[in-house]
A and B are shown apart, each in its own frame.
Chain A
Amino acid sequence: MATQSATIARSHEATRATNANQGRRISKGAVYIILTIMAMLWIIPLLWAVDTAFKPETETTTIPVSWIPTHFTPQAFQEVLQAGDLPRWYLNSILTSVVITVLTIFLASMAAFAFSRIPFHGRNAAFWLVLAGIMVPAPILIIPLFTVIQSFGIVNSYWGIILPQIAVSVAVFIFKQFFDGLPHELEEAAIMDGASRWRVYWQIWMPLSQPAIAAVAVFAFVASWNNFVWPFIAVTSTEMMTLPVGLATVQTSYGIHYAQIMATAVLGGLPTLIAFLFFQRQIVQGFAGSGLKE
């Protein structure tokens, strides 16, 4: 099996080749037009939100609806940042998402390493047990899960938000797929030299696994950052809310101040959008490598 980097190099060649193959001019023009129209449809709601956020409150409710405000003002942003708990929600979201991501990477990669490389009794049974978790629909678990964290006394705490979001079978699956594709030679040689399994995992496997780590990190971070339902249940006070939960409360508390609501939405959506801009390459590679290769 080819290594990850070779696969990536090949994929770039493939892109270029496909492009060269579909050379006809007219159809190409049509493709551009259709794509541009579709892209506009996808982008307009976002632009509309940004546009509204920069309007003074009085201009959001004019008829006919207009795109260009007479006064461009960051006033809504200022008010939202001063009045609300937004900075606190940011902090909560960052903290919980980072811890969830790090713990997911460690627990999932360790387990996947054992599933892929250590022949122990009950390995297959344990692997299938973990994989079966993918099938469990999260909503069914919410109320029993709540009673579990209640019995641990971690309702409305960071651990209450974090711990139930860690057991992600998909991450184990992605790591296992990746580890299965790595050549055996390295590990055999290291074990012959007397290295422990832990050292093989920590000093050989993990450094080699950067693409898989990147993929899992992105998925885990975005999933926990955007998770609405669980924090919504697990948190009972305003100052413990994560961003999505907090944002859900502003619509009612602001009344019909649409500029402020949109300013909040823009501030809430910006971090993940920026993260995507920065990590686009890793995300696309993560998608390509997430257990879908031949």
Chain B
Amino acid sequence: MSDTSIRQQVIQRDASHSLKASPKRASRWRLDLVGWGFILPLLVVYTIFLLWPILLGLRMSLFNWSLVGSGTNEFLGFGNYAEALRDPDFWSSLWNTIVVTVISTPILVVLSLVLSLMVNSVTGRMQWIYRLAFFAPYTLSVTVMALIWSWMFEPGFGLLNGALTSLGLPSVNWLTQPGVAMLSIVLVTIWWTLGFNFLLYLAGLQQISKDVYEASALDGAGWWNRVRYITIPLLNKQTLLIVVLQVIASLQLFGQTYLLTSGGPNFSTRPVIEYIYDSGFTNFRAG
């Protein structure tokens, strides 16, 4: 009897407390050893391939550093930063990234929520088909996606202009016209990445207990009120995660633009400047 009550106490406390409850277990330093032993493999990889490069990058940003041969590794202090800040290309590329992020994030969040709500209300085989349709593009690598869309956008024989001309509309230079190219990138990004948000929302929706809906239905809440006051608040965690991931992903935008509009960097020769290459990756020099 007393045994079980002790057991329960142990369970209720967190791990470090349970240790005090049984001091005859391994001594403190032994636990330290085992604990660090378990995380050591990860820490080694993490340090070499993440922490060390971060420090290296910070150091490089202060020097006139070249990847090929022996560049003039002179100390520049914050000269690189000043240079980048004066460079209009840096600002315009930053602006492009921000524009894409600001346009695509709300669309991707709202559209995926709406679609997941609708798909969740559909049953059986059809749900499976819709789920597949919306998620399928996400499984493609950026290169495959870019190959398909550069063909879709092809000015002469692509499907989009084909559709426009058959409707009697003028064709559009999807990837070479400055303003349009940006919209094309947003369009493609939505098509490609919506599936991820969609599936996160769908998974979240399917975890919401039916009791909640039954109770609210008994209280006379309509469909919209249920969505507004129950579903959306219960999906808060998903929304937060999606928005954060979305903003991070949008700010890292690279593959789409590099492959579709080839506003690309040339890093083998470029002197390394902490955020010049960041801006190089998000560069949009369309055409």
Q: Which residues of A contact B (CB under 8 A)?
A: 7, 10-19, 21-22, 24, 27-28, 31-32, 34-35, 38-39, 42-46, 48-49, 52, 60-65, 106-108, 110-111, 113-123, 126, 129-130, 133, 136-148, 163-164, 166-167, 172, 183-185, 188, 191, 197, 201, 222, 225-229, 233, 243-245, 247-248, 250-251, 258, 261-262, 264-265, 268-269, 272-273, 275-277, 280, 283-285, 287-288, 292-293
| Sampled A-B contacts (26; CB under 8 Å) | A11-B206, A17-B214, A21-B214, A35-B130, A38-B134, A39-B130, A39-B133, A61-B157, A65-B161, A65-B163, A110-B38, A111-B42, A116-B15, A129-B46, A148-B56, A163-B48, A166-B49, A183-B11, A188-B10, A243-B143, A265-B144, A265-B148, A268-B143, A280-B132, A288-B207, A292-B238
Which of B119, B146, B162 is the one whose CB lies under 8 Å from A64? B162
How many residues of chain B have a CB within 8 Å of chain A?
108
Q: Which B residues are CB-close (under 8 A) to A113? A: 38
> Which 5 A-B pairs have CB atoms at the shortest separation, nearest pair first?
A120-B35, A17-B210, A65-B162, A114-B38, A144-B53
Nearest CB in chain A: distance from B123 CB, A: 5
Q: Which B residues are CB-close (under 8 A) to A185? A: 7, 11
Which of A17, A38, A280, A284 is the one whose CB lies under 8 Å from B115? A38
Give the contact stretch, choosing among B81-89, B177-185, B248-256: B248-256
| Interchain CB contact under 8 A, A167 and B156 | no
Q: Assess A139 versus B141: contact at CB under 8 Å? Given A17-B210, A118-B38, A184-B18.
A: no
Nearest CB in chain B: distance from A116 CB, A: 8
The complex places the Cα of A163 from the Cα of B133 at a distance, in Å, of 34
| Interchain CB contact under 8 A, A268 and B141 | yes
Q: Assess A251 versus B147: contact at CB under 8 Å? Given A42-B191, A144-B60, A292-B241.
A: yes
Q: Which A residues are CB-close (under 8 A) to B126? A: 32
| Interchain CB contact under 8 A, B53 and A141 | yes
The complex places the Cα of A258 from the Cα of B150 at a distance, in Å, of 10
| Interchain CB contact under 8 A, B205 and A18 | yes
Q: Which B residues are CB-close (under 8 A) to A120? A: 31-36
The complex places the Cα of A191 from the Cα of B144 at a distance, in Å, of 51
The complex places the Cα of A261 from the Cα of B119 at a distance, in Å, of 33
| Interchain CB contact under 8 A, B141 and A243 | yes
| Interchain CB contact under 8 A, A14 and B139 | no
Nearest CB in chain B: distance from A77 CB, A: 15
Q: Which B residues are CB-close (under 8 A) to A7? A: 207
Q: Which B residues are CB-close (under 8 A) to A118? A: 15, 31, 34-35, 38
Given contacts A10-B209, A17-B210, A144-B60, 10 further A-B contacts (CB under 8 A): A22-B121, A139-B252, A139-B278, A142-B277, A148-B48, A167-B50, A250-B147, A262-B151, A273-B139, A293-B207
| Interchain CB contact under 8 A, A14 and B206 | yes
A-B contact count (CB 8 A): 317
Q: Assess A65 versus B157: contact at CB under 8 Å? Given A18-B121, A184-B10, A268-B141.
A: yes
The complex places the Cα of A123 from the Cα of B206 at a distance, in Å, of 35
- Grouping DSSP codes into helix (H, G, I), strand (E, B) and loop, the A interface class, with mixed when no group exceeds half, is helix
| Interchain CB contact under 8 A, B54 and A147 | no
| Interchain CB contact under 8 A, B38 and A201 | yes
The complex places the Cα of A186 from the Cα of B139 at a distance, in Å, of 38
Q: Which A residues are CB-close (under 8 A) to B237? A: 292
Nearest CB in chain A: distance from B99 CB, A: 18
Name, among B134, B135, B159, B267, the residue most crowded by chain A CB atoms within 10 Å (CB to CB): B159
Q: Assess A284 versus B202: contact at CB under 8 Å? Given A148-B52, A229-B255.
A: yes
The complex places the Cα of A42 from the Cα of B255 at a distance, in Å, of 20
Q: Is B107 an interface residue (CB 8 A)?
A: no
| Interchain CB contact under 8 A, A52 and B143 | no
Q: Which B residues are CB-close (under 8 A) to A172? A: 42
| Interchain CB contact under 8 A, B46 and A167 | yes
The complex places the Cα of A64 from the Cα of B259 at a distance, in Å, of 27
